[in-house]
Amino acid sequence: MNLWRSQRAFSSLSKPPISLSQLNNLLQQCSKSKSLNQGKQIHPQIILNASDQNTFMITKLIQLYADCDDFVAANKLFDKLPQPNVFLWTAILAYYSRHEMYRKCIESYCEMKMSGVLPDGYVFPKVLRASAQLLCFETGICVHKDLIVCGCEFYLVVCNSLIDMHERCGEFMSMRKAFDGMVGRDLLSWNLMISVYVSNAMFELGLEILNCMRLDGFEPDAVTWNMIMDGYCRMGRCDEALKIFEHSEETNIISWTILISGYSRIGQHESSLRIFKDMLNTGTVLPDLDCLSSALVSCRHLGALM
């Protein structure tokens, strides 16, 4: 039914001009479904309606092109605007971030500020991600100052991006300070902190965060328990990880692989292969390359072929 309605809407483009609200709805549909060709059919209709002088419609059109990765068309329209607004800058920054063009993302952010446009809560995560990927801690600190000035320091998605930036740059003290200063947290915030501590050999701090998380009313999900299992295995305490696994309601290839690789790493190859066989016997989980690699290591050490 939705497809039929969309086809009818697009067929109407060959008829007399349609309203701005209809054009806007069509642009939004195209952006959401990444339908570039259908979006290009709307562009002439916008010109026909003289809506190409309407900043709101041009903003939507640029967002469509950027979302559909037609950056040439998006940039061509962008350059024609005398004063692009924050929504347009966000579309451009999102494109650069999505395509790992992190230096361009930061450069565009600086251009936006120079033009007098204030960033908002949608801009900061993209620039913080670029800073994190480039390990540009000084840039990240400058962005941190900007987001405080703009009143976005308590936005959840901004705070999570800020934590990620500090961690990737190896600034664990300032990362913890940012986390402790959060007014509200979600499951991602807690999992992010646990992941940082597990990955950086600070498992006891990860367990501390787990306890605080539960006291704060958040129940661990499969991702949380996988990270805790991984932490135990990294410390050679695979039996502790196995206890968590056996009480888990939801298991997947990641949790199986954590156990298989964990036991293999500490030389308990019989246990590693036993768990591998148990996984195969479930008939619901297929081994991936990481899982197979760990199992083969144990096979080699035991001189066994499965």
Per residue in 223-246, pLDDT (tens digit) is: 999 999 999 999 999 999 999 999
Kindly indicate the confidence band of residue 40, based on its pLDDT and cuts at 50, 70 and 90.
Answer: confident
pLDDT(297) > 80: yes
What span, in angstroms and rounded, lies between the C-alpha atoms of 68 and 240? 47
What span, in angstroms and rounded, lies between the C-alpha atoms of 65 and 25? 15
Kindly indicate the confidence band of residue 56, based on its pLDDT and cuts at 50, 70 and 90.
Answer: confident
Q: Burial-class residue 156 by CB neighbours within 10 Å (0-12, 13-18, 19+).
A: middle
Kindly indicate the confidence band of residue 46, based on its pLDDT and cuts at 50, 70 and 90.
Answer: confident
- Identify the pLDDT of residue 298: 93
Q: Give per-residue pLDDT as tens, 7-29.
A: 545 554 445 557 778 888 888 88
Among 221, 259, 264, smallest CA distance to 243 is for 259
- Identify the pLDDT of residue 165: 97
**Quick one: tokens of 105?**
């993302």
Q: Which helix (H) or strand (E) holds 78?
A: helix 71-80
More confident residue, 3 or 217: 217
Kindly indicate the confidence band of residue 93, based on its pLDDT and cuts at 50, 70 and 90.
Answer: very high
Lowest model confidence (mean pLDDT) among 38-52, 75-89, 93-107: 38-52
More confident residue, 32 or 139: 139
Q: Residue 197's CB: how many other CB atoms inside 10 A?
A: 22
- Identify the pLDDT of residue 275: 97
What span, in angstroms and rounded, lies between the C-alpha atoms of 271 and 265? 11
